[in-house]
Structure 1
Amino acid sequence: MRVPLSWLAEYVELSQGTTPEDVHAALVRVGLEEEEIHRTDLSGPIVVGEVLEFVEEPQKNGKTIRWCQVRVAPEGETAADGGESVHGIVCGASNFFVGDKVAVTLPGAVLPGPFPIAARKTYGHVSDGMIASSKELGLGDEHDGILRLTELGLADAPVGADVIALLGLDDSAVEINVTPDRGYAFSIRGVAREYAHATGAAFTDPAEAFDRPAAREGGYPVAIQDQAPIRGRVGASVFVARTVRGVDVSRATPQWMSSRLRLAGIRSISLPVDITNYVMLEMGQPIHGYDLATLRGQIVVRRAEPGERLTTLDGQDRALHSEDLLITDDSGPIGLAGVMGGATTEIGDGTRDILIEAARFDTVSIARTARRHKLPSEASKRFERGVDPNVASNAADRVAQLLVELAGGSVDEETTVIDDAETSGAITLPEGYVSGLVGFEADREETIAALREVGCVVDDSAADLAVTPPSWRPDITERADLAEEVARILGYDRIPALLPVAPPGRGLTAAQILRRRVADALAAWGATEVLAYPFVSAEQNALFGAPDGDTPEAVRVANPLDATVPFLRTSLLPGLLAIAGRNQSRGLTDLTIFESGTVFRPARGRSYGQRELPAGSARPTPEQLAKLQDGIPPQPRHVSVVALGNRLPKRVGESAVPAGLADVLAAVQVVALATGVRIDVTQGSHHAFHPGRTAALSVSGAPIGFAGELLPAVARSVDLPRTVAALELDLDAVIAAAPATVAASPIQVMPAATQDLSLVVANRVPAAAVLAAVREGAGELLEDVRLVDDYRGQGLEEGTKSLTFALRFRSGDHTLTAAEASAAKLAGSALAGSRFGATIRE
């Protein structure tokens, strides 16, 4: 909303020297948002000139210029630039005549650009100034000819008068951002009231200059027939129709009006249209005018019927929707109510009688219509935020008054007024409520005074106040809104700025600490953390959601953003692979990425959905919270890693090292070290992973995830290279198994004894199981055991393999003998033999 300061000053007192910056600062104090300041960037001398004579001089370039003699000061007086009263000026335009009054920029003037004016020699003459066009003065885009003041109704302007003041170019405007809940600020009336709240300046309501009549008939016949109200609210609750006859639409819009409209961001069109726009800006009530001669019978406000169409004022033929609220007569639709009028009843050059419409339409209906037809307008912008139902007749009277004064019309005495607007009920404001909500002490007298200042009617006969909001504030519906108004008026600066003190002992939980430690460890290891969308398709959930190939239960979103991915994820891998593919397509071929996030694992056979929400006026009870929690599926937190490309790039003398299964297994150990949990890795299987290159992950025998290399077909389906390694861990399960404390291993001072052990077992026996048996059987002396060789071939029976383990033994209090180390090794071998039939390879 742009607010010219001269217009604002008509309804609220602006002290001498008030600048646009001052107005912005005042409006910000009451919660409005400042945007820009609009000024006309020019300086004088720019004066009224009279064309005395001119000579047309054709030029060699084909152009014809006029050598003009222009009087720029009364005869015998010195011009504003100190020169003679008659100046010789070269002009390239030809749309003016001898005797015309024009705007002359004299030497020393500066036009927007900046473009300084000086006497200069051109076309064989010294041009002592310039005759200006509308565009050069910042009045509009018209640049085909010079500005003739006669066309602006200023034929009697005295020669030498200051054009800047005459055309209102010395005015400025402040622009504010009006939030959806404060539609009343889309008017000079509303902004003036807010400025008065901020400064205490005297405010004059322009609507109070006119009486508000009771509902009556007698004017142009009008009926409201809304058979399809939205949200149970009829589309039109107020409709005022006034007739003005004998209007001269050819008269020019007064300069003061067109200047204010221009500063407010609205283009001058014609006198009747400019008057309706002017009143809309002034009072916040959109007005529409009809050519009375084009109306056919009674005006009916109703919804559109099937197949109806309407050509609006912008020339577009529009197919109407059954929810569209229309203005109709016997000929059919003549306007989209509250949005735009129809072309058939448009005011034109031949219009003599005008019917004025001022109405109040339902906010939701107008908002839907404007968006449905992609037709935002100044009127719909106000209607969809809510207009004052009590100002419609006042605004219609104001339009009629201006038409009489400026266009020579006469007003019919009969007026149609339909007024079915509901009045706001009183809101109970308990004693002490405001202070408890806003955070500072507001006593009873201050609260009452603040509410009355914003227009509320306050009944203070009881301890609890009964407050009726003003008609122009449909946004005030509950006591919290009243508290906000009190805080606005008394000043937001009274609200103390206090930082809450954290209760002692309430830092991060143990689980939160471990989750952060895991993410930090993976990032330090070299992986990049990413955040994927949680929405996937049924196929993606089936591919990764369950290792055994069963289709997991999944939560379907009721209103998905994308119909192709309507489910919540049961695995993190689909999102990670999509991110990897996107980076791969942009040339980032070597990637190791991870995500720590929740997955959604509903129990099979259970239905989940929204439960009844408790009222917001009180804290939910434990029972209510339990019911809400029961409607939420389990959301365990997982961590997943995807690695592809090269782990180490090719270097001089070294080949590239591709990423693979070993890398994601290393990531498993990173998670294990970060949490202090021992994660066991065994041979596994997964329908999306390569057979023989898939590991099952477990803690104390309980499965917690899997790792491996994707099947080439799966990798190809997501546009990734042949080898892609991935893992997924149930991080909540890992954290649940984490010890409360992790003790550091002591530094050993005794020497270690190392020995190798080669065991022959059947191919089907997992090496990890044999290693576990050796570790268990060797006892406390065994410090470390690692698999160093897996041999299958000549020298072994078919169907067997040789596993070689490197063992390190150490005692904490003495140097081990070879016999002690050998005895421990043989004990480990014996346990592996009893469990898996392992024999020592000779």
Structure 2
Amino acid sequence: MKVSYRWLTRYVPDLPAPAKVADTLTQMGWEVAQMEAWGRWYEPVELVEVVQRVKHPDADHLSVVSVRRGDGSTIDIVTGASNGFVGDRVWYAPVGTELVDGRVLEAVRMRGILSPGMLLSAEELGFDQGPQDLWIWSGPEPLGTHFIDVIGGQDTVFELELTPNLAVFGQSMQAIARELAAALSLPLTEHSRGFEYGEDALARVLDLHDCPLYGLVAFQIQPDAPTPLWMQVLLRAIGQRVIFPAVDITNFLLWDIGQPLHAFDRDTVQGSITVRLAHPGERLETLDGEERTLGPEDLVIADDAGALALAGVMGGTRSAISSKTRHVLLEAAHFDSSRIFQTMRRHQIFSDAALHFGKGTDPLAVYTAPDRYRALLQEAGLFVATGPSQVVGRIAPARQIAFEPDKIRRLLGVDWSDDKLRQGLERLGFGVTAAGDVVIPHARHDVSGSHDLAEEVARLYGLETIKPSVFLAPAVPGQKNSHEAYLEFLKNLLAEAGYWEVVTRSFTSPERLARAEMTVSDAVVVRNPLRDEERILRTSLLPGLLETVEANRARRGLALRLFEIAPVYQSHADGCQEIAELAVVQTLEGQPAYPHPEAPHVLDLKGVMEWVNVRADMGLTWRQVEEPPAYLHPGRTLALTNRNGTVCGYLGEVRPRIAQRYHAKRLAVWVMRLDLLPSSAAVSSQMHRPLRLPEAVRDLSLVVPANIAYQQIVDVVNALALPALRRMTPIDHYVGAFGESWTLRFVFQPEEVTLTEEDVDRAIQQILSSLDPYGVKIRQ
């Protein structure tokens, strides 16, 4: 935001030098990113008088004008202007002058006649003075007066970087001046009085939540008159362009008091004004020339013929002000900031009005702005009459919070008295009642508690006045709760197994889920998405992991082993639910190498799952399912069941057609909801006493009937609960004429007594006896 020093002096005439102002603003928390002089290019421009004008001998459209300067000398200038006759006083820029558009003037020969410099129009000086070529000056200034002196000398412009909390109330010269007056203990000049609205039927508001306060005032103005020069100078200093007086005054008040106004050409408005939501598909051509399609989320200002403006964001061309406008319908409103902000983002219209309304405005300005507008019209000689007016809605009472001096002192670590705190708040515009409550100004939407009041008085008196101190806190080491520790433990296990953790975005879209052939039921919808492809919260981690596979495989055909443990979201009648989920993806393609390694298999991921199941005490069991989720291969999928018998996830191979969409031929996945694990699942990463006694290893080759699954063998062996059996793992699988053979390795390790051969043989015999009813025999 650009702030003019000269503009600030309209409110605080006794301001110190600009350097002191910059230091004070910095003390108050306003970051001064840049401070520069404005208007230096006007210093060489001087007032001269035309003493002779003759036609150029070699050009029909040029004239040679002799002008007298302030020192009495004359100079001949070649010009193509249609005005500027003997006796007229005009502005002359000598050689070396830098114009506002960046051109540097030189002595040039025009059709054989040397022209040292240039006679200037108002536009070439950056201003508007109506339809004339040269700027004919009628002021009392003597010849030789420099233009910089006419506009009041050079100005200093501060460029402020507004933090979000300051931008809520500080986007105006009045707000900045009030801060400076409070910090420097200087009087503040108030320019505004309340406007007394009539009771004419000009407008109606369909929903006072979207527009709590809406005012309309009709003015009759004098057309074809320029905006006052002093106002043009201030607008130009902060980088605003000059248009028409009726519009320039609204722009001036936008930056002067922070209230966006909109002026309609009343002669183009059909019927009364209605503040309503747009109809689906309603069209509006905005002032930037774009035709926009509106929807029921957009608030519009409409007449009987349709939408006139996108409320708080930008007006429409149908009711735009022109230089010929005689009847102005001035809108002063207080809109719901979130509604305006969302419309601004939706249509990508970042107008000054939208940026003000989107952060919140002062509802009191609905009353002060029309009075200022009328006064400025009168000052410019444009005012003719005030017409009918109306205000819809009311101002809510000012908020009040408890005045707690002790809490403020504790927060700041100071010993300031109650009176000092109270005086500081009053200097900043806050009121303190006899009952001990702080009255919050309507413009201060950012203040909600004692912590905000503490920040205010600290800004005022200066953070450098607060002695630094070391806060006291108990020296208790931080630790994670059991749930977070368990999730961290799972991540460490998967990383130990050779998988890379990735982090994907929580936002997605129905189209991205549909691409992975996943359902979109119970999705949480984002009200103001930054992008269309991120308009819901993810219901599964798998699509994000598949897109990560796609991004990596599109650049290089790497073998990938990825996992993510993060929340997913579901909506229900009481709101939305956050659920912890585990997702693992592994490519199942061989890589070029010598000697040729075996290609990965989905059973590799199953083995990792079994290992994690044991280490993390998940208590999972699994069985093959014929009708898995749509994205999984029907013949290569296991359903994972917890101790309570509830299906909590799936492990299997992604359908080939889906894998190909993500630049992979085959993909194994493991997706599981962690919230469905029993609460007894705990972190098993604590240290255990190592066993002192040696292991005993036995390998058994078993002939297994075709209808017996490996998991059945695991269940039978686990049911024996052999105390010395530490683990059982498959090490070979062979199919021959005799049938199907599994070679299983059994590892025995006792805790107290060394096992004998007889003990191991006895355990092996128990295992074979329990498997015999299933037709499992020792391979001979």
Output the CA distance in 2 between the equivalents of 1:204 and 1:33: 24
For residues 365-396 of structure 1, the C-alpha deviation after alignment (integer angstroms, 9 at most, x for no partner) is 99499869998866676677444537846x55
Give the residue type in structure 2 aligned to 1:832. L
Instruction: Tell me which residue corresponds to 2:686.
Output: 741
Output the CA distance in 2 between the equivalents of 1:408 and 1:779: 101
**Structure 1 SS opposite 2:608:** helix
Offset of residue 591 of structure 1: 2.4
Instruction: Tell me which residue corresponds to 1:527.
Output: 500
Give the residue type in structure 2 aligned to 1:171. D
Conservation of the 8 A alpha-carbon contact between 1:781 and 1:824: no
Output the CA distance in 1 between the equivalents of 2:555 and 2:209: 50
Instruction: Tell me which residue corresponds to 2:654.
Output: 710
**Structure 2 SS opposite 1:667:** helix
Instruction: Tell me which residue corresponds to 2:44.
Output: 45
1:728 has 2:671 as partner: yes
Structure 1 segment 331-730 matched on structure 2, within 5 A: 340=315, 348-349=323-324, 351=326, 359=332, 367=340, 385-387=360-362, 389=364, 392=367, 398-407=372-381, 421-422=394-395, 424=397, 427=400, 429-432=402-405, 435=408, 438-441=411-414, 442-460=416-434, 464-470=435-441, 485-491=456-462, 494=466, 501=473, 504=476, 506-523=478-495, 525-531=498-504, 533=506, 555-557=522-524, 572-581=541-550, 583-584=552-553, 590-598=559-567, 608-610=573-575, 637-646=580-589, 649-651=591-593, 653-655=594-596, 657-668=598-609, 671=612, 675=615, 677=617, 684-685=624-625, 687-688=627-628, 689-690=632-633, 693-694=636-637, 706-712=650-656, 715=659, 721-729=664-672
Give the residue type in structure 1 aligned to 2:669. A
CA RMSD after TM alignment: 5.8
Offset of residue 642 of structure 1: 0.8
Instruction: Tell me which residue corresponds to 2:183.
Output: 198
Instruction: Tell me which residue corresponds to 2:707.
Output: 764
**Structure 1 SS opposite 2:18:** coil
Of 527-536 and 365-374, more deviation after overlay is shown by 365-374
For residues 110-133 of structure 1, the C-alpha deviation after alignment (integer angstroms, 9 at most, x for no partner) is 556876556577876665445566
Instruction: Tell me which residue corresponds to 2:25.
Output: 27
Conservation of the 8 A alpha-carbon contact between 1:523 and 1:529: no
Of 39-48 and 8-17, more deviation after overlay is shown by 39-48
Give the residue type in structure 2 aligned to 1:26. T
Output the CA distance in 2 between the equivalents of 1:147 and 1:772: 99
Change (3 A) 1:450 1:687: same
Give the residue type in structure 2 aligned to 1:465. G
Conservation of the 8 A alpha-carbon contact between 2:122 and 2:134: no
Instruction: Tell me which residue corresponds to 2:227.
Output: 253
Q: What TM-score, normalized to structure 2?
A: 0.74
Offset of residue 661 of structure 1: 1.5
State which of 768, 773, 777 in structure 2 corresponds to 1:832.
Answer: 768
1:804 has 2:743 as partner: yes
Give the residue type in structure 2 aligned to 1:10. R
Change (3 A) 1:793 1:254: closer
Offset of residue 424 of structure 1: 2.8
Change (3 A) 1:785 1:482: closer
Output the CA distance in 1 between the equivalents of 2:291 and 2:643: 73
Change (3 A) 1:713 1:257: closer
Conservation of the 8 A alpha-carbon contact between 1:41 and 1:112: no
Tell me, which stretches of 5 or more residues in structure 2 are unaligned? none
Offset of residue 646 of structure 1: 3.5
Conservation of the 8 A alpha-carbon contact between 1:777 and 1:824: no
Give the residue type in structure 1 aligned to 2:592. K
Conservation of the 8 A alpha-carbon contact between 1:643 and 1:660: no
Instruction: Tell me which residue corresponds to 1:162.
Output: 146
Instruction: Tell me which residue corresponds to 1:628.
Output: none
**Structure 1 SS opposite 2:183:** helix
For residues 274-322 of structure 1, the C-alpha deviation after alignment (integer angstroms, 9 at most, x for no partner) is 4554455444556677889x6999x966557999999998899999999
Conservation of the 8 A alpha-carbon contact between 1:230 and 1:365: no
**Structure 1 SS opposite 2:56:** strand
Change (3 A) 1:506 1:726: same
Conservation of the 8 A alpha-carbon contact between 2:526 and 2:537: no
For residues 508-534 of structure 1, the C-alpha deviation after alignment (integer angstroms, 9 at most, x for no partner) is 235433422432443451424233547
Output the CA distance in 2 between the equivalents of 1:45 and 1:822: 113
1:106 has 2:94 as partner: yes
Conservation of the 8 A alpha-carbon contact between 1:3 and 1:174: yes
Offset of residue 259 of structure 1: 1.4
Instruction: Tell me which residue corresponds to 1:625.
Output: none
Output the CA distance in 2 between the equivalents of 1:320 and 1:826: 81
Give the residue type in structure 2 aligned to 1:709. E
Conservation of the 8 A alpha-carbon contact between 1:762 and 1:801: yes
Conservation of the 8 A alpha-carbon contact between 1:707 and 1:725: yes
Give the residue type in structure 2 aligned to 1:687. E
For residues 755-786 of structure 1, the C-alpha deviation after alignment (integer angstroms, 9 at most, x for no partner) is 65433343333446557878999978888765
Offset of residue 258 of structure 1: 1.4
Structure 1 segment 195-344 matched on structure 2, within 5 A: 195-207=180-192, 222-223=200-201, 226=204, 228-231=206-209, 235-236=213-214, 247=222, 249-275=223-249, 277-279=251-253, 281-284=255-258, 340=315
Give the residue type in structure 2 aligned to 1:658. A
Offset of residue 37 of structure 1: 5.2
Output the CA distance in 1 between the equivalents of 2:475 and 2:325: 78
Offset of residue 643 of structure 1: 0.9
Larger radius of gyration: 1
**Structure 2 SS opposite 1:407:** coil
Of 175-184 and 424-433, more deviation after overlay is shown by 175-184
Conservation of the 8 A alpha-carbon contact between 1:596 and 1:638: yes
Change (3 A) 1:250 1:587: same
Change (3 A) 1:643 1:268: same
Output the CA distance in 1 between the equivalents of 2:244 and 2:558: 65
Conservation of the 8 A alpha-carbon contact between 1:334 and 1:345: no
Offset of residue 445 of structure 1: 0.9
For residues 243-288 of structure 1, the C-alpha deviation after alignment (integer angstroms, 9 at most, x for no partner) is 67xx4x4444343221112224433234454455445544455667
For residues 619-659 of structure 1, the C-alpha deviation after alignment (integer angstroms, 9 at most, x for no partner) is xxxxxxxxxxxxx76x6634221111536x313x4436533
Conservation of the 8 A alpha-carbon contact between 2:639 and 2:651: yes
Offset of residue 592 of structure 1: 2.0
Output the CA distance in 1 between the equivalents of 2:300 and 2:228: 35
**Structure 2 SS opposite 1:759:** strand
Output the CA distance in 2 between the equivalents of 1:271 and 1:116: 30
Output the CA distance in 1 between the equivalents of 2:674 and 2:287: 63
**Structure 2 SS opposite 1:7:** helix
Structure 1 segment 103-142 matched on structure 2, within 5 A: 103-110=91-98, 128-131=116-119, 139=126
Tell me, which stretches of 5 or more residues in structure 1 are unaligned? 76-84, 546-550, 611-631
For residues 450-485 of structure 1, the C-alpha deviation after alignment (integer angstroms, 9 at most, x for no partner) is 23223344333xxx4244445665776777765664
Conservation of the 8 A alpha-carbon contact between 2:128 and 2:242: no
Conservation of the 8 A alpha-carbon contact between 2:247 and 2:321: no
Change (3 A) 1:555 1:203: same
Output the CA distance in 1 between the equivalents of 2:731 and 2:651: 21
Output the CA distance in 1 between the equivalents of 2:638 and 2:627: 12
Change (3 A) 1:56 1:593: farther
